[in-house]
Structures are given as C-alpha cells and as structure tokens.
Amino acid sequence: MAIATINPATGETIKTFEPLKDVEIAAKLDLAGQAFEQYRRTNFSQRSHWLQKAAEILEQEKADFAKLMTLEMGKPFKAAIAEVEKCALVCRYYAEHAPSFLADVPVKTDASHSVVRYQPLGVILAVMPWNFPFWQVFRFAAPTLMAGNVGLLKHASNVPQCALAIEDILQRAGFPQGVFQTLLIGAAKVADLMADDRVKAATLTGSEPAGASLAAVSGKQLKKTVLELGGSDPFIVLASADIEAAVATATTARMLNNGQSCIAAKRFIVEDAIADKFEKLLLEKFAALKVGDPMQPDTNIGPLATPDILQELDQQVQNAVKTGGKVLIGGHPLAGRPGNFYPPTIIIDIPIDTPIAREEFFGPVALLFRIPDIDAAIKLANDTPFGLGASAWTTNDQERDRLIEEIEAGAVFINDMVKSDPRLPFGGIKRSGYGRELSIQGLHEFVNVKSVWVK
C-alpha cells in the first residue's frame, strides 16, 4: 500500500510519501537505542513535565490536528476535536499517576529488605491503526515514555501526516531526540524490526490477521506483544431497560467514528417483549442521521476510510441478505457522489447460526437480533470469536449481576456504551487480543518487573 494522504470524502490524493530506505531505518534504530541509554536515566519529574507540555500543545492546536485527522481518514471534525482532547487527558493522567504506579513496592519477606521494582525494557514498537490516528498512539506513548522506554511508531499507511505530527508534538514538548520516532514504512518491514535486538517488545492495534502476523514473528524472537484486535460487540437490551435511553445510546455507540471502531456496538440483541419498540425507535434515529462532508458541524456520518473498506462492508451486507437478512434502511453505498460513503444501515432476521452473524462489520451497519430472555441474550452475545466489550441494559439487579459475570469480554458496561478511559484497563479476550492498555495494568505491560532481595 502506498504511503499517502487520500481524502476519503473526495478520493483526491493530497500528498504522497516515500517509504524509508533500509539505511534510514537502520539509522533510526541506532538513534532509538542511543536515546534509550540516556533517557532511562531521566527522572519522573522530567518526564512528567514533557508529557504535560505535550498535553498543552494538543489542546492549543487541537483544531489543526483535528482537521488533519478528518482529511486523512474522514471522521467528523467534531469527533476529531474530542479525540485530540482525550489525548491530552491521557498525557495528563500518566504524568500525574505514573510515578506512583511505578514506585517500588515493599514486600515483607525474610530478607532485610525486599521490593518489586519496575524498570524500562528499551525500544518498544507500536503498530497502529488509522481509525483513531491520534488516540491509539497517545494511549501507547504516554505510559511507555513515562516508564522510561522509547517508542517507534509504524502507523497505518493512510495517515502519514498524523504520524509525523505526533512525533513533532513530542519533540516540541521537550522529549530528547530519538525518544519517539515515526517510521514511514510498509507492513512488510515489521518482521525485520522485530528481529532487531534493540526492539524489545511490540504493541499492535488492528485487524486479526495483522495481530496474528505480529504475534508469530514476535514469538519467533521471544519478544512480548500486546494485541488489541477486532470486536463484534453485543449491545443487549432487556425488557426492564430504559428503552429511550438505550436507543439513543445505541445510535451513538454504532455510529461512533463512522462505525469504524473496534468497540462500537455492532450486534443489537433485544428481548422480544420490547423488540418492536426498540426497532421502531432505532430506525427513526438512523433515518435522522446526516451523511456528508465530515468538516461540516452538522454532519453525523462521514466517509469510510478507504474504497477497500467500503467494498468489504457492502459485500458483508449483501452476504447477510443472501442468508435471509432483511435491510430496514440503507444497504448500499451512496451513488452519484465521490468518496467512500455508506449510509446508516439496519439488518434484521439474520439467522443466528450463520457465519455472517458472528463477523465484525466495520462501518455504520447494525445487526438486530430478537431473543426470548436473558439466557438466550448471553448465549448469543458470547457466540462470536471476539471478546472485546459489551454493553447491556437492564434495571434488574439480578440480571445486571448475571450479565457482568457471564458475558465473555474484556469490558462490560451496564446502561452505557463501551468506551476507553485512562483510569480503567482496556483490552479483550479470545480473538480480540491479549494484554491491556491504559490504567496501571497498561503501564506495567512494558516494564521489567524485578524482584529485589537484600539480606
């Protein structure tokens, strides 16, 4: 894939970039290795100051960064603004909390003195996706840099200007040269990077195949990975739920980022007793959404990121129809206009035992299933290879406790949409990946947890 900015709303190629040559990659690896030897000796106060400065730059220039995201991958401008603000939040969170999260932990033993100490590993490679081009990187960079590691970013090839902007932000914030570098390279170069002794570990957010590929090459090198992969997140609505609130949140949860989010609600599992009302209200909400220029403030749904994503999504919709599904609204790419636009779509009556019912739809398409009771809801929610997040709606305490306990996912949100929060660990199980980002657990993924015993 070419490394280029191609406006998904128009199809226009804005800017292209030459991938780094092998000698240039080698030079950046040298610089990263040298930078680590010095940077690991900086103190928390210095790192916190630089990270706070990065937060200030993000906030002061958020409109510019948001425009860049919208230009490169098509998210609505107002959503891009919110993404930049969230990046500033995660910087401030780790600037404040990392020193205590990484402090020595005394352990009472028969030694005179024993502690658990957290130390940096070295150069960490981040393979990041296009759908949240700033947030995904900063939620890696903030804890990684506070731990004393240095970062190499291999970003998605359709958001190169975002990738370069992030490196520039961290440099302007004061982080020493080489501590965070962007590598404009294709996916084929990742295996060589993982084979380099200076790269100690890697994190990837992206597709199942991409995660499996990185895990394979990392396993060969015996290097740790954290993987945050796909999801086919259930959104369960039981009869006791506040239906109006559930429908309003369901619309937001499905259309987040033009529907291109791993934790977007994708399978709506609704109890029969309230299914007719839920379907009617959801249809009204979807019909009211405005599809169009993502730079306009009243636009709800912008274009999908690439023509390939548009084509793949439409093929899934047509496959769902072939298996018996019925389209209530949408169902085909918007014709007669440039760009990768797909309208809000609802599909009902898909047989639950077909493969398409378990797949991830990466776009503004909702699959609506009716079930008789909570037992069937939990069974259907778990009947997928993924296990990232789940949203469930009920006002019954016993139902709530069952949903929390029995749903197979890295996160369960009751009466709210699934979202990431710096204060809580984020990640999945099954084929949604392993390891955690954010909170103290995410910070501890890329450190040497060292036992110290003094007698």
Looking at residue 209, its pLDDT comes to 96
Q: Find the angle CA(320)-CA(321)-CA(324) to the nearest 5 degrees.
A: 95
Residue 418 main-chain phi, psi, to 5 deg: -70, 135
* Structural contact between residues 180 and 146, judged by C-beta atoms closer than 8 angstroms: no
Provide the annotated active-site residues.
228, 262
Beta strands 265-271 and 365-371 are parallel
* Structural contact between residues 258 and 83, judged by C-beta atoms closer than 8 angstroms: no
* Structural contact between residues 154 and 146, judged by C-beta atoms closer than 8 angstroms: no
> What is the token pair recorded at 126?
């981040």
Q: What is the CATH number of domain 233-422?
A: 3.40.309.10
- Beta-strand ranges (E) seen in 349-409 are 365-371, 386-387, 389-393
Looking at residue 127, its pLDDT comes to 98
Q: How far apart are CA 454 and CA 113, in angstroms?
A: 5
Looking at residue 121, its pLDDT comes to 98
* Structural contact between residues 399 and 240, judged by C-beta atoms closer than 8 angstroms: yes
CB neighbour class for 323 (10 Å; exposed up to 12, middle 13-18, buried from 19) = middle
Domain boundaries, the chain: 3-229+432-454, 233-422
Looking at residue 167, its pLDDT comes to 98
Nearest to residue 375, comparing CAs of 404, 412, 415, 403? Answer: 403
Buried b (16+ CB within 10 A) or exposed e, 129-139: bbbbbbbbbbb
Can you spell out the DSSP letters for 179-234? SEEE----GGGHHHHHHSTTEEEEEEES-HHHHHHHHHHHHHHT-EEEEE----EE
Structural Rg of the chain based on CA atoms: 23
Is the domain defined by 3-229+432-454 classed in CATH 3.90.550.10?
A: no
Instruction: Provide the 10 A C-beta neighbour count for residue 441.
Output: 16
* Structural contact between residues 421 and 436, judged by C-beta atoms closer than 8 angstroms: no
Sign of CA dihedral 248, 392, 442, 214: negative
Instruction: Provide the 10 A C-beta neighbour count for residue 319.
Output: 15
Can you spell out the DSSP letters for 3-53? EEEE-TTT--EEEEEPPPPHHHHHHHHHHHHHHHHHHTTS-HHHHHHHHHH
**DSSP code of residue 235:** E
pLDDT, tens digit only, all 455 positions of the chain? 699 999 999 999 999 999 999 999 999 999 999 999 999 999 999 999 999 999 999 999 999 999 999 999 999 999 999 999 999 999 999 999 999 999 999 999 999 999 999 999 999 999 999 999 999 999 999 999 999 999 999 999 999 999 999 999 999 999 999 999 999 999 999 999 999 999 999 999 999 999 999 999 999 999 999 999 999 999 999 999 999 999 999 999 999 999 999 999 999 999 999 999 999 999 999 999 999 999 999 999 999 999 999 999 999 999 999 999 999 999 999 988 999 999 999 999 999 999 999 999 999 999 999 999 999 999 999 999 999 999 999 999 999 999 999 999 999 999 999 999 999 999 999 999 999 999 999 999 999 999 999 99
Looking at residue 8, its pLDDT comes to 98
Looking at residue 100, its pLDDT comes to 98
Q: How far apart are CA 415 and CA 418, in angstroms?
A: 10
